[in-house]
Amino acid sequence: MRALSIQNLTKIYANGTEALKGIDFNVESGDFYALLGPNGAGKTTAIGIMTSLVNKTSGTVEIFGHDIDTDLESAKACIGLVPQELNMNLFDSVLNIVVNQAGYYGIDRRTALQRAEKYLSELRLWDRKDDSARNLSGGMKRRLMIARALIHEPKLLILDEPTAGVDIEIRRSMWDFLRRTNEAGTTIILTTHYLEEAENLCRHVAIIDEGRIIEDAKMSEVLRKLQREIFVLSLRDPLTKAPTLPGFETSLRNDGELEVVLDAKDDLNSLFDVLTRAGISVVSLRNKANRLEELFMGLVEGKHQVSGGQGD
């Protein structure tokens, strides 16, 4: 069953901005799906249309088979939304915020209170349940929005940059929580600018740019398209100049670490063979940039260079 089906979706704002230029994509039930793109690409507009916060110009959107044009209330009942911007009454208590949201979804108060305890505890907010939301830290407010989105136990959870501005410890605990939520059967759509986050969590990725989908495939397939990767090697004996390694492009960083470029045809075994023959001992190795980030930059920047060239 498809959790989400979007066909030829367009959005032109009143000021004439064409935010979506006919996008199509499908999300299968149970998937963990990344919707990526630079700022202003159309991600939040697409999410706004799915959740009825934005009116579409044309196209169709179905949530678990419910068309938002003909069966909007059933479609809405399937979705939990964690928006990009804070959208809660900051003067209300943490508990009231989630329990009221449950009420809007037709969940009786007793059940809502039980679920509130469950989700606020899992997100480490139960101790703060009587506090006014304005007294929470930024990370706590983000977690509160996740608890609120889950209170009606939606089949589809949409997270629009849920970890923006959150410290690394909380971000990783949120990743664990989202993984568990997905494993329990909830389909998740995630937008984020932390591409490491998308690569770690998501099994499927779509990249949107200037209102068009420019990539839509399984994460593993997308990463396979990466033509080259740059590895940073820490060496046991620092070098004074970059060594010549047959078949590999190298450069020496200011901190004495060695950068080696691997093309898609190369593998790490052959690199280490060459390094061993050259007498270079490697202590550790890491990617210079996140793999998805490299691919993302290649796709988006490459497209902009092409369109820039056409405009000249």
Least spacing, CB of residue 92 vs other proteins, in Å = 8
Residue 158 or 299: the one with the smaller Cβ distance to other proteins is 158
Return contacts of 306-312, CB within 8 angstroms, 24+ apart.
none
Residue 44 or 299: the one with the smaller Cβ distance to other proteins is 44
Q: How many CA atoms lie within 13 A of 142 on its CB side?
A: 20
Least spacing, CB of residue 3 vs other proteins, in Å = 16
Among 101, 181, 186, 191, binds other proteins (CB under 8 A): 101
Position of tokens 């759509």? 189
Least spacing, CB of residue 199 vs other proteins, in Å = 28
Residues 14-53 within binding reach of other proteins (CB under 8 A):
14, 48, 51-53
Least spacing, CB of residue 149 vs other proteins, in Å = 9
Least spacing, CB of residue 77 vs other proteins, in Å = 4
Residues 103-122 within binding reach of other proteins (CB under 8 A):
103-108
Other Cβ atoms less than 10 A from the Cβ of 94: the count is 27
Least spacing, CB of residue 61 vs other proteins, in Å = 14
Residues 62-91 within binding reach of other proteins (CB under 8 A):
73-74, 76-77, 79, 81, 83, 85-90
Please give the C-alpha separations between residue 48 and each of 42, 75, 101, 103, 159, in angstroms, as whole numbers.
10, 13, 18, 22, 11
Residue 103 or 243: the one with the smaller Cβ distance to other proteins is 103
Across the beta sheet with 32-36, the strand order is: 79-82, 156-160, 187-191, 32-36, 204-209, 212-218
Please give the C-alpha separations between residue 302 and each of 91, 109, 174, in angstroms, as whole numbers.
46, 53, 33
Residue 145 or 260: the one with the smaller Cβ distance to other proteins is 145
CA distance 129 to 14: 41
**Radius of gyration over every alpha carbon of the chain, rounded to an integer in angstroms:** 23
Least spacing, CB of residue 141 vs other proteins, in Å = 12
Q: How many CA atoms lie within 13 A of 270 on its CB side?
A: 11
Residue 102 or 219: the one with the smaller Cβ distance to other proteins is 102
Residue 54 or 245: the one with the smaller Cβ distance to other proteins is 54
Residues 214-253 within binding reach of other proteins (CB under 8 A):
none
Residue 92 or 249: the one with the smaller Cβ distance to other proteins is 92
Pairing status of strand 66-67 against strand 187-191: unpaired
Amino acid at 295: L
Residues 115-174 within binding reach of other proteins (CB under 8 A):
148
CA distance 247 to 249: 7
100 forms part of the interface with other proteins (CB under 8 A): yes
Give contact residues for other proteins (rule: CB under 8 A).
13-14, 48, 51-55, 73-74, 76-77, 79, 81, 83, 85-90, 96, 100-101, 103-108, 148
